[in-house]
Amino acid sequence: MSAPTPDAQDTVRVLFVCLGNICRSPLAAAVFRQHVIEMGLEDRIEIDSCGTGPWHVGHPADPRTRDEARRRGVDLDRHRGRQFKPEDLATFDHIFVMDRDNLADVLALDADDSYGYKVRLLRELDDTPEDYAVPDPYYGGADGFARVHDIVERATRRLAERIAEHHGLR
Ligand code: 4NP
């Protein structure tokens, strides 16, 4: 991690960002939360997700994402979409985006170029990053949702370990 190391007692705030906030980023937040709970760190790490676009504000996660998640023991039923806002750049310690479009859209809201060091592609944490994008499954078939879940599972597991290490949480 390139972000400054905060005091070990501080809460670490992690935000996941995609386009619609109904497929990739809510899943990443929920799967990451499971890893954090398994590590006993749920009181130390705050987790949220949002989308760069406005279309799904207040909406539940996509039923295809929810179905695949449910099959794997991840509950997304309480999720409601929200849109990324410039203040998120200051609020969160780490902002993980799903693809390069998300990266550009988030950085475009960093008016003073102050927070770019916090913003990274989630797939940098994947052992097999391919093109570093978590592919948008929205317009594809069920196999795309299973593939996204596999990628998110690998990357967020590694992320939980890295954050625990970087912030001295265990
Ligand atoms: P997400 O997928 O960014 O992973 O939530 C999408 C959801 C909705 C749309 C695009 C991508 N959309 O165009 O409405």
Could you tell which of 16, 18, 100 is best to mutate to test the pocket of ligand 1, judged by most ligand atoms within 8 Å of the CB?
18
Give the separation between CA 15 and CA 84, rounded to whole angstroms.
Answer: 10
**What proportion of the chain, given as a percentage, has pLDDT over 70?**
95
71 is a catalytic site residue: no
170 pLDDT tier (thresholds 50, 70, 90): confident
Q: Is the CB of 28 under 6 A from ligand 1?
A: no
> What is the per-residue pLDDT across 100-126, written as a single tens digit (0 to 9) for each?
999 999 999 999 999 999 999 999 999
- Helices 142-166 and 24-38, interaxial angle, to 10°? 40
CA of 32 to the centre of ligand 1 (A): 20
80 is a catalytic site residue: no
Q: Is 144 helix (H, G, I), strand (E, B) or coil?
A: helix
116 and 107 Cβ atoms separated by less than 8 Å? yes
Give the separation between CA 151 and CA 98, rounded to whole angstroms.
Answer: 11
Enter the pTM of the model. Answer: 0.95
